[in-house]
Amino acid sequence: MRRTIAVLAGLVLAYAGAGCGGEREPGRTPPSASTPAERPAAGDHTLTLSHGGVSRSYLLHAPPGYDPARPTPLVIALHFFPGSGAAMRELAGLDARADRENFLVAYPDGRDGGFNALICCGSADDVGFLGALTDHLVDAWRADPDRVYLTGISNGGDLSFRAAVEGDGRFAAIGVVSGGYSGPLTEPDSYVPKQPVSVITFVGGQDRYADTFHEGLRTWQRRLGCRPVPGKAEPGRAGITRVDARCADGSDVTVWSLPEMSHSWPGATAGQLAAPDAGLTATDLIWEFFAAHPRRR
């Protein structure tokens, strides 16, 4: 399926140089009001958080082994446009992995189906919202501040890159599927994380934006002084390659290239943008990468 944000006339202009801005709140976001009945416990929760005078909704999955007395890793999963947290939950299949590995998963809803990322969609302070959501889940749900991660597809993948740069060091690593580091905000060489943020990403060769995604990854690695380490073709996965790099700040970059895949989530078996026959399962590889990359100080 073609990238869903392409339906907007504004996106056609976006890659030609148009973009969406948005004010950012420096430093740690003050705690925001949350749902009064919220009580940390295992299970599935439908919650809200007030940010910037707006009530923002999100789903939260806490695994059966969740213990509010112990720090727990947190993955925040960001949907495509137009989409929702529920659609991302169906697509990524992170809940089952969370139940095995004992981590929290949050699925925020973008406003009007989208996030204000690097090239679109909207004008909400979504980086600020992700910061407020992270701070709330650290404070109220005992998420481990050194093991907070972002993953997303398409519009949500773009926002993962934006939050990696503008998120004030909250995020240890990002997992980007069919998304990229591009657009007017990324033009200055200074637009890189000030603290190490590791990246794992998946690019389909049949994705109409594949060249843009690869160019953005080259720019990211050049700016951060990343040096390649030996890559390899995965046995039994014809044509699929993995290339790794270590950057000057100690972060890592892993790029999976899937020549036969389009704008999709590899290995997903349900939901919009699923690619069950892609040859690998992005959800498992993303979590394995996250587990190996706590926040570097």
Measure the CA–CA gap between 142 and 71, rounded to whole angstroms: 5
DSSP 61-81: EE-TT--TTS-EEEEEEE--S
| pLDDT given for residue 232 in this prediction | 58
| pLDDT number for residue 5 | 37
- Residue-wise pLDDT for 21-38, tens only, equals 333 333 444 444 444 568
> Which of 16 and 142 is assigned the larger pLDDT?
142
Could you report how far apart the first and last alpha carbons of the chain are, in Å? 39
Strand (E) or helix (H) holding 255: strand 252-258
Write the single-letter amino acid at 274: A
Mean pLDDT taken over the chain: 89
User: Which amino acid, 196?
Assistant: P
What is the model's pTM?
A: 0.87
pLDDT band at 230 (very low <50, low <70, confident <90, very high): confident
**Two tokens, residue 164:** 């990696």
pLDDT one-digit tens code per residue, 31-64: 444 445 689 999 999 999 999 999 999 999 999 9
* pLDDT tens string 82-126: 999 999 999 999 999 999 999 999 999 999 999 999 999 999 999
Report yes or no: 73 and 149 within 8 Å, Cβ to Cβ.
yes
The per-residue pLDDT for 23 is 30
Mean pLDDT of 143-150: 98
Arithmetic mean of pLDDT, 9-15 = 34
CB 29 within 8 A of CB 50: no
Contact 152, 160 (CB under 8 A): yes
How far is CA 49 from each of CA 35, 59, 198, 213, rounded to the nearest angstrom? 7, 11, 27, 32
The pLDDT score that the predictor gives to residue 84 is: 98
Extract the tokens encoding 106.
């949050």
d(CA 267, CA 46): 26
Q: State the pLDDT at residue 234.
A: 59
- Percent of the chain at pLDDT exceeding 70: 85
Nearest of 46, 82, 83, 84 to residue 62 by alpha carbon: 46
Q: What is the pLDDT of residues 65-75, one digit of tens each?
A: 999 999 999 99
